[in-house]
Amino acid sequence: MKLWGDGVMEYWAESRNPTLQHSNTPSSSRSLIFAMSTTGDHSPLAAELRKISGLKVKMAEPLARYTSMKVGGSADYFLEVENEAALAELVRVLNGHQESFWLLGNGSNVLISDRGVRGAILRLTGEFKIIQFEEMAGIAKVTAGAAVSIGQLARDTARRGYAGLEFAEGIPGSVGGALYMNAGAYGSELEQVVDQVELMTARGEPLCLTRGEMTFSYRDAHLPSGAVVMRVRMGLRKEEPAQVSARLRELARKRKASQPSGSPNSGSMFRNPPGDYAGRLIDAAGLKGTRIGACQISERHGNFIVNQGGAKAAEVRQLMELAKSEVRKKFGIELVAEVKLLGDWQSQ
């Protein structure tokens, strides 16, 4: 089993892929192109899925509407999970059928193939969108469901005078995805405020990890293999609401001034290499504004690719490959994709 972060977390039944890794850190020996399910007749699984209370089942569901780039084909199964009991049963059923499945957050860190995804896409909703607040001795404990928008949570906590999440304003992902990717900006990362994490294991059993039991690194929380994030508890400082909100507005202003807005995009396409910035390298390679079909490397920020209307996933990938090639040629630096490729890319 393997999982990825905010755009998508990925899983396979253990008997089919016993050697896959759980780490989000790229390696030269592991492809970012996900394998496809070989399941044939879907009807027995579909019938069993429809018996699960708290689960909404859609067949051949178009996925472009669920991603921030607004591209991609359909999924065989699109499963909206409303509560913990439904999630536990669903994981057991899918593993029992040896069906591949992927957890999709807010779709901000994924590029889905135009040919779609064979297998199941899971999306958390219902009780996974609940936020709970608790104050004690100047510390605010905030427990957020994995499906909560991390940017909205940053704004909600700022209004209450809870400090520590201001950097997350404008990050388009979910809380679960932000945890998995150890999302960060402006010198801060989520690991700095995480207190406790509630997971669903690959066996469909709940698991709680404290901060001391977790290991974080750049854009990786190193979660247990196949685990699904359900809730994240954070410890934030109590300050004057006006001061926290002012800091959040200033960071929002900086983000708006430097990043594209108004056109669909997936956020940062590449990780920053050590001691440098992917956007600077792409800009220095003369690629800002470069266009293939209906997608374009942003004229405002080189590490963003925007959909100008009607773009294809294949066109986005071509621009990514162009950026990697030119940066490698001019600077000898190998850019590593932050966006994950999901679906049938072999035939494109």
| N-to-C CA span, the chain | 25
Q: Which of 141, 144, 143 is nearest to 162 (CA)?
A: 141
Longest CA–CA span in the chain (Å) reads 59
Residues 37 and 99 sit within 8 Å (Cβ to Cβ): yes
Sign of the dihedral defined by the CA atoms of residues 122, 50, 145, 207, in that order: negative
Q: Cβ neighbours of residue 253 under 8 Å, at least 6 residues apart?
A: none
CA 255 remoteness from chain centre: 19
- Walk along the chain (348 residues) and give the pLDDT tens digit of each residue: 334 344 454 444 433 332 222 345 444 333 344 444 444 445 799 999 999 999 999 999 999 999 999 999 999 999 999 999 999 999 999 999 999 889 999 898 899 999 999 999 999 999 999 999 999 888 999 999 999 999 999 999 999 999 999 999 988 889 999 999 899 888 899 999 999 999 999 889 999 999 999 999 988 999 998 899 999 999 999 999 999 999 999 999 998 888 888 899 998 999 999 999 999 999 999 999 999 999 999 999 999 999 999 999 999 999 999 999 999 999 999 999 999 899 988 755
pTM of the model: 0.84
Active site residues: 219, 268, 338
Q: Which of 163, 132, 165, 140 is nearest to 150 (CA)?
A: 165
Alpha-helical regions (H) of 9-77: 43-49
Q: Which contacts (CB < 8 Å, 24+ apart) does range 319-324 have?
A: 319/290, 319/292, 319/295, 320/269, 320/270, 322/287, 322/290, 322/292, 323/269, 323/270, 323/282, 323/285, 323/287, 323/297, 324/270
